[in-house]
Amino acid sequence: MDFAELLALGRRVGDRLVARGETIAVAESSAGGLVSAALLARAGASAYFFGGAVLYTRRSRRLLTTLTSDDTAGMRSSSLPYARLLAAHQRSRFRASWGLAETGAAGPSGNPYGDPAGHSCLAVDGPVVLERMLRTGQDDRQGNMLAFAIAALELLAQAIDAAPAAAAPISAPG
């Protein structure tokens, strides 16, 4: 899949969200904003895209979220528990129907935790909660970023398809 196909996938997911009257908030790291870009590729994205953040460092997480060190105690980035926390945090913070998170190691080398390049953890929080670990086995940074974004959107689409009709946001925005 290439960048044009990623954008088309984002538009299709956006169509599903609009059809259901649902919203999304995103936290991503190694995808570098590609998940948000794909979701914003659809005209009228403001109907469903509440916001997103590229949380590439601890400092960015501290400045762009309301998570505290207590919230992440015993956790490391690039892990499924961390991805679940980010997805739930974004959903709650933005009062969205869905939260989506991606965290990983794009490459060309691995991360300080011992995960290889091509490692990503993805999570969706909403009426359906899903998570997935992806290992591409590649050290191609741009290829991995694209693969991570595609996998995140596919996981979100899977969750949306599995959700009961007309899921509501956590609470009305206000």
CB-CB contact of 28 with 55 (8 Å) = yes
pLDDT less than 50: residues of the chain: 167, 172-174
- Tokens, residue 165: 């009709």
pLDDT of residue 165: 85
pLDDT of residue 1: 78
Pairwise CA distance, residues 130 & 132, whole Å: 7
Pairwise CA distance, residues 102 & 99, whole Å: 10
pTM for the whole structure: 0.94
pLDDT of residue 82: 98
For the domain 3-79+94-162, what is the CATH code? 3.90.950.20
